[in-house]
Amino acid sequence: MPLIDYLSLLAIVIIGIPHGALDLDLAVAGNSASRQRLSKIFLIYVAIAVLSFITWHLIPTTALVTFLLLSTIHFGRANPLLINYKNKSSLDALSSSIVFQGGLTTIFLPYLYWDEIKNLFTSLGADIVALQFIGIFAVIVWATSTAIATFHHRSKWLYICLASLMVFIYFKQVFTPLLLFSIFFCILHSIPHYLKASREIGKSPKKPPVTFLINTVVAWIIVAAVSLFFYRSQNINSSTLNAIFSVLFALTIPHMLLVDLLLPKRLNNWKIS
């Protein structure tokens, strides 16, 4: 991998992975009595993370497809392009906006850079033939969602985003897929999520709670330990990719369950409609 890809992976570890370190604080936000159940929430969270980590290595293709599918929903619900979809009451307008935005990095990006992406997926132990077959269907769904979202919104901002996308396609050789993923994940998703979570728990982003620091350091240690473990039987590229994305998957599954299923039922700021 080129140096820019290693820097991109470093950004994912330093900026991207910690964005869920406030999850336990969010789980009890707005209900002080639920802090008595913090230990139970923590155990469930860790159990799901461990199970997800094991699943990634036992059935990597299924895990990767699941990861991409859930990430599409998770990224799209976060509204990274700031499309005003919350005012749309129709299900097709809402769902198409989510799939369009979330699919930019989980569907469109792999399709655009397939020659490079398939090498990354191979390093992760995935079945490329199966992923290519599933990818055809995913691209059709994303393209359809893009068309529906464009029809419903008809906003200058959305047209600017689409025009920028066309320009980006023309200059795609300037970037690498890992660089683009890190930009989207870190800048358009992780940082806004952290700021929103900090406001929700009533903490300054500049002075996060001790739990955030502890969870972040533990996650970094786990990534380093897993990377060293895989390095015994793999090259530096494969061991680094496997460590980062397996840990990212393990932490993301419980994070998504909390943010996309539980929080919207309790906190108004996390609802999408």
Residue range 47-54: average pLDDT?
94
Q: Tokens in use for 113?
A: 């850079």
Reply yes or no on whether the pLDDT at 34 is more than 60. no
Average pLDDT value over all residues in the chain = 88
Q: Is 126 left (phi over 0), alpha (psi -120 to 50) or beta?
A: beta
The tens digit of pLDDT for each residue in 145-160 reads: 999 988 887 778 888 8
Q: Work out the percent of the chain whose per-residue pLDDT is above 70.
A: 95
- Domain borders along the chain are 3-270
The tens digit of pLDDT for each residue in 81-128 reads: 887 655 555 777 788 989 999 999 999 999 999 999 999 999 898 999
What is the model's pLDDT at position 35?
59
What is the model's pLDDT at position 89?
57
Are 111 and 118 in contact, with CB atoms under 8 Å apart?
A: no
Question: CA nearest 95: which of 156, 136, 146?
Answer: 146
Residue range 207-236: average pLDDT?
90
Report CA Rg, the chain.
19
Q: Tokens in use for 132?
A: 């290519």
In the structure, what pLDDT confidence band is assigned to residue 26 with cuts at 50, 70 and 90?
confident
Are 215 and 19 in contact, with CB atoms under 8 Å apart?
A: no
